[in-house]
Structure 1
Amino acid sequence: MARANDEVEALLREYADLLALTGGEAFKQRAYEKAARAIAGHRDDIAGLGVTELRAIPGVGKSIAEKIAEYLTSGRVAAIEEARARIPAGVRALTEIPTLGPKKAALLYHDLGISSVDELVDAIQSERLRDLKGFGPKTEENILHGVELLRASGGRMLLDVATELAEHVVARLSALPGCVRCTYAGSLRRFRETVGDLDILVASDDPEPIMAAFRELDLVAEVIASGPKKTSIRTAKGFQIDLRVVPPDSWGAALQYFTGSQAHNVRIREMAVRAKLKLSEYGLFDAESGALIVSKTEEEVYARLGLPWIPPPLREDRGEVDAALRGELPELVGEQDLRGDLHTHTDLTDGVASLEEMLEAAAARGYAYYAVTDHAPNLVMQRMTDEKMLAQRERVRALDRAYRGMRVLHGTELNIDPDGGVDWPPEFLAGFDVCVASVHSAFTQSRADTTRRLVRACENPHVHILGHLTGRQIGHRPPIDADFDEVFRACARTGTALEVNSFADRLDARDEHILRARRYGVKFAIDSDAHSVRNLAQIRYGVGTAQRGWLTPDEVINTWPLTRLRAFLKKPSAREA
C-alpha cells in the first residue's frame, strides 16, 4: 500500500498547481514543490508525526507542516479544499496535459472560459487560441499531442505504483492459511513501463477463503465480479486487480499463461499444437488422450516444448522464442550485478538528502563505487556555482572510502544546451570523475536540430553518459524527436554510454531504444537518478527495463570493476576523433 508520504506528496503538488492557477506567489509554489519532494524522499513513514517532527524534515516549514498534520489527523486540509473550490475540476484536469502547465491553464480559463479538455480541443480546432500570447500553431500542435498522450495513458499505473500495490496484496494473501504460493503476473512481471491492471496468482486447494479475504482487503472499493476461480476488484483510485486461484499442481502452467504477453503465448501454444499437445493455464496435455504431461513449474512447461526457461521481461514475441531454440538467449543483467550507481543527487541542488546520508545508504546497498552528480549551473533554478561544486569535490575526496570502503566519484549532471554545448569549459570539466549530460529544456526543437544537439554532446570528450535520452515524463511530457539511430552511432563512435534512467516516470532510454542501440555496440549505464535515500531502490525498475532490452552485464558499465570503468571514462575514441 502507498505510504502516507505518497499521499501527502500528491497533495502538496496539487496545492502548488492550485496556487499557480489562482495567481499565488511563485515562491510559495516552489516551497510546496520542494516540500513534496522532501516528503516523498523521506525514509520513514510520516503517518502519526506531529508538527514538530514534520518541521524537522528539511524543506518542510511551519505552515506546510501544519497542513500536513491537519491532513494526517483529519484526512482533509481546509486551505486546499478552499483552493479547489475556486477552480473548476475541469481546469485542474488541464494541468495534467503534457506541455500545458498551470499558468497556461489559468490563462485559458480566465481569458476564454475553457474549463475542460474537450473544450480546449474544440477551441484549438476553431483557432480561438491564436490571439493569446504564447499560443501559436506550434503550441497548439504540442497541446493536441499532449491530449493524445493523456487519453492514451488514462487509468494506467506507473511501474513503481503498480509494484508497491501488487507487493502489498501478495504479502497479505501469502499470510493466509491455505495459500501455498502467491505472486503477481501479467505485464507487471514483464516490467512493462505502465500497467493497466494487476494480475495476482495464488496456488491453493481451498480457493473460497482466499477469495473472501481478497474481497475484504481494506483497499477494495468495489467487487466487480467474484467466483471460485477468479475475483476482480477495483481500488479507491480506480485500479482493477484480478485474483486467480489455481491448484498447486497447476502453478507453473498458470504462471506462464497469466504472465503473457499474448503474442508470446500464441507462439508457445503454436509450438504445443505442432507437437500434438494442448497448453492451458492448468497444464500441458496430450491433445488426443487429454493426459496431463507437465504443469508444476514454468521450467517444466518450456522444457517439454524444447525450450529453456524464458525470462518474463523477454516474453514479447520479439525474437525470444527463436533465440531460445538456437540456445542464444542472453544472460540478462540483474540488480545483483550492479557494482555502483553513476547518476545521483544531494541537497546541494534538488535532492532532499545530504551527501553523507546518500553515501551511507549507497554503502548499505553493497556498492563498490558511487557517483555524486549534482546539477550544473545552466539549470539556473538549482543555483549551482563553481565554488559550491569545488567545495563539494573536496568533501567527496575526504569521504572517499569512508563508507565501508566504497569509492566515491565526484561528477555532475550537465545540461545539454539547444546547440549541443554543456556547462563549464573543458578545463573545469576535466576535474570531474564522471559527467552525465541530459536535456532539460527546449524540448520542441526540430528533429534535425535535436539530433545535432545530442550528437554534439556525445562528441564532447568530457561527456561520459547521455542521460535520460528522450527527456520524456510518462503521462506528462512527450519525448523529444530525434534520429536516434544517428545518436546511437555517435554514442558507439565516441565511447559515450547511454543511460537507462530508473525513475518510474522516465524509464529512459526505453526498451525499444536499448534494442536498437545494442546493434551499434553502445554501452549502457543503469542509474537511479536518486534525489533521496529512498530513490536509490528504484534502480530495480531500470534493471527491468534493461532486461526488456536484452542487456547483459558486460554491456552495462556500472557492473564493471572500477579499474575497467575508469578506463572507459577516459573516452579515447572521442579524443582520437
Structure 2
Amino acid sequence: MNTGQIALVLEAVAGLLEFKDENPFKVRAYRNAARAIESFTGDIEKLCRDKKLCDIPGVGKAIEEKITQLINTGKMDYYEELQKEIPAGVVAMCAIPSFGPKKARVVWQQLGITTIDALKKACLEDKLSALKGFGAKTQKKILDGIEFHSKHAGQFLLSDAMPVAKRLLEYVRSAPTVHRVSIAGSLRRWKEIVKDVDLLASADDAGKVMAHFVQAPGVVEVIGQGDTKSSVRLASGMQIDLRVVTDAQFPYALAYFTGSKEHNILVRQVAQKKGLKVNEYGIFEGSKLLECSDEAGFYKILDLPYIPPEMRENTGELDYSASLQPLELKSLKGVFHTHSTWSDGTAEIEVMAEKARSMGLRYMGLSDHSKAAAYANGLDEVRLANQMKVIDNLNRKWSDFRILKGLECDILPIGDLCMTPEILGQLDFVIGSVHSRFDMPEAEM
C-alpha cells in the first residue's frame, strides 16, 4: 500500500462526506490528510507499524485508524459504507457547474434522480422549480450548467488532471506483476487542456492489473475492460484509459502513446526512409525487432536525438538541437502564490522557505488569502501586518534567499479590493482573485 493509493481513498471519502453535508471541517480534514499523505516521502507502512501515522501533520487519531486498516487489509470499511449510501450517478451529477452536493442530494432524495439525463428531463418538465431552495431561476441555471457540461464534456485543465493521474498511477504501480508505469498521451505532453488521462503499464499478467485498475477508488463507471486496454470514468466525468503491454514493449508503447498523431506520423516517415516499421509494439526491420530499453534508445535507433514529451507536437522537433531544451524545474528561480498555515496552507512559513531553498530557489512569494475569504482563514489588516514582521525576521537569516511579501486579495462584487490601499502598498506584490459571485453577467463582472 503506497501513499498515492491512500491519498486516493482519502480524497474519495472527502467527496462523499461533502455530498452527505457533513461538517465542512471534517471534509477538509480528509482532504488535508490526503495531501499530507501524498507528499510524505518516508516509509508509510513502517510508520503505520510503529503507530506513528499521527506524526504526519494533518493526520488525526480518527483518520489514523482508518489509514491503518487500509494499509493492513487493503480496504477501508468507512469508505465502502459511504459508497453504498450514495449512488455513483448522483455523485457524477456534481460535475455540472453550480450544481453541488446539496442540490444533488435534494433531487435524488425527493425526485429519485440519479443521472444527468434524468436531471435534464426533470428541468424541462419544470419539476425542480417547486423544490424548496430551487425556484425557476435556479432550474434555468441548472439547465444552462447541463448545457455547458455537455458542450465541454471530456475537457479538463492540466492542473485538475495531473494530480488525479499521479494518484492513479501509484495505484496501478501497486498491482500484481507490474514492472513499469507512466503517464502518457497529451497529459504527459503537458497540454493545458486534456480530454482524458492515458496511463501505460508493463506487467506479466495484464488481466490482474486490469482487475485491480477498475476497482480504483473514485471510479463510478467501468466503460470497458480488456486484456490490453481498460477505461473507467470518475465522478468528475474524467475518463482514464489504461494500456498494459509486456516490459519489452514498454519503451515503444510509451513513445507511441505519448506523441501527438502528427508527431507519430513524422516518426513513421523517418522509419520508412530507413526501411523500418514503427508501431506501439516495436521498431521492426522486416520481422526482426530492433531492441531498446527506453525512449532514448527508441529515438537512437531512428538516428534522432531524444525528444522531450512536451515537444512531440510536429513543431519542428525532429530538427531541434540539444540547446533547445524545454523549461525544467531546475530552470525556476522562484515561485509566487503560496499559502501557509496563516490561512489555508498546511506548512509554516519558515518550513516552506527552507524547502524552497533546498530546491535551489532564490525567492518565494507568500500570498495567503485576504479577509474576504473567511472560509480559508483569510488575513485582515492586523494579521497581515504581523505576518510581514515575521517575514522581515526570517529574511534576516539568509543571504541567498528572500521571502517576498504578498497577498491573494479578493476582488469584491463592486470591483474594489477587500483590503485597504495603505496595507497593500506595503507588499511586494498582490494577486487579485475572484472567489464568489461567479454567476454575474460578463459585462457586470
TM beyond 0.5: yes
SS of 1:370 mapped into structure 2: strand
Q: Which of 406, 423, 433 is equivalent to 2:418?
A: 423
Deviations 1:116-144 (A, max 9, x none): 32210211232333343361423420233
Q: How far did 1:336 drift?
A: 0.8
Q: How far did 1:353 drift?
A: 1.8
Counterpart-to-counterpart distance in 1, 2:53 and 2:425 = 41
Q: How far did 1:160 drift?
A: 3.0
Partner of 1:199: 200
Partner of 2:93: 94
- 1:29-178 counterparts in 2 under 5 A? 29-42=24-37, 43-44=39-40, 49=48, 53=52, 75-77=75-77, 87-131=86-130, 132-133=134-135, 135-146=138-149, 149=152, 158-163=161-166, 165-166=168-169
Q: Is the 8 A contact 1:264 1:315 kept in 2?
A: yes
Q: TM-score, normalised by structure 2?
A: 0.73
Q: Is the 8 A contact 1:5 1:46 kept in 2?
A: no
Counterpart-to-counterpart distance in 1, 2:59 and 2:288 = 65
- 1:26-425 counterparts in 2 under 5 A? 28-42=23-37, 43-44=39-40, 49=48, 53=52, 75-77=75-77, 87-131=86-130, 132-133=134-135, 135-146=138-149, 149=152, 158-163=161-166, 165-166=168-169, 185-192=184-191, 194=194, 195-200=196-201, 211-212=204-205, 220=212, 231-232=228-229, 240-246=242-248, 256-270=255-269, 278-281=276-279, 282-283=282-283, 297-300=297-300, 303=303, 310-317=307-314, 320-321=315-316, 330-383=324-377, 384-400=379-395, 402=397, 405-425=400-420
> For residue 244 of structure 2, what is the amino acid of its counterpart?
D
Deviations 1:369-417 (A, max 9, x none): 1122111112232342111111111111111153684222221112233
Counterpart-to-counterpart distance in 2, 1:291 and 1:62 = 59
Counterpart-to-counterpart distance in 2, 1:188 and 1:87 = 31
CA shift in 2, pair 1:220/1:9, >3 Å: closer
Counterpart-to-counterpart distance in 1, 2:121 and 2:50 = 46
Partner of 1:15: 17
Structure 2 gaps, min length 5: 215-223, 235-239
Partner of 2:218: none
CA shift in 2, pair 1:294/1:34, >3 Å: closer
Aligned residues: percent identity?
27
Q: Is the 8 A contact 1:219 1:235 kept in 2?
A: no
> For residue 297 of structure 1, what is the amino acid of its counterpart?
G
Counterpart-to-counterpart distance in 2, 1:117 and 1:333 = 41
SS of 1:16 mapped into structure 2: helix
Ranked by relative contact order (alpha carbons within 8 Å, sequence separation 6 or more), the top structure is: 1
Counterpart-to-counterpart distance in 1, 2:105 and 2:289 = 64
Partner of 2:237: none
SS of 2:367 mapped into structure 1: strand
- 1:472-511 counterparts in 2 under 5 A? none
Structure 1 gaps, min length 5: 202-209, 451-577
SS of 2:114 mapped into structure 1: coil
Deviations 1:201-259 (A, max 9, x none): 6xxxxxxxx634x6556973579655xxxx556799975232245479xx6x6654343
Q: Is the 8 A contact 1:413 1:435 kept in 2?
A: yes
Counterpart-to-counterpart distance in 1, 2:418 and 2:83 = 40
SS of 1:343 mapped into structure 2: strand
Q: Is the 8 A contact 2:337 2:367 kept in 1?
A: yes
CA shift in 2, pair 1:29/1:77, >3 Å: farther
SS of 2:338 mapped into structure 1: coil
Counterpart-to-counterpart distance in 2, 1:382 and 1:86 = 29
Counterpart-to-counterpart distance in 2, 1:183 and 1:103 = 37
> For residue 335 of structure 1, what is the amino acid of its counterpart?
L
Q: How far did 1:101 drift?
A: 0.8
> For residue 127 of structure 1, what is the amino acid of its counterpart?
D
> Alignment RMSD, CA only?
4.5
Counterpart-to-counterpart distance in 1, 2:288 and 2:243 = 33
> For residue 104 of structure 2, what is the amino acid of its counterpart?
A
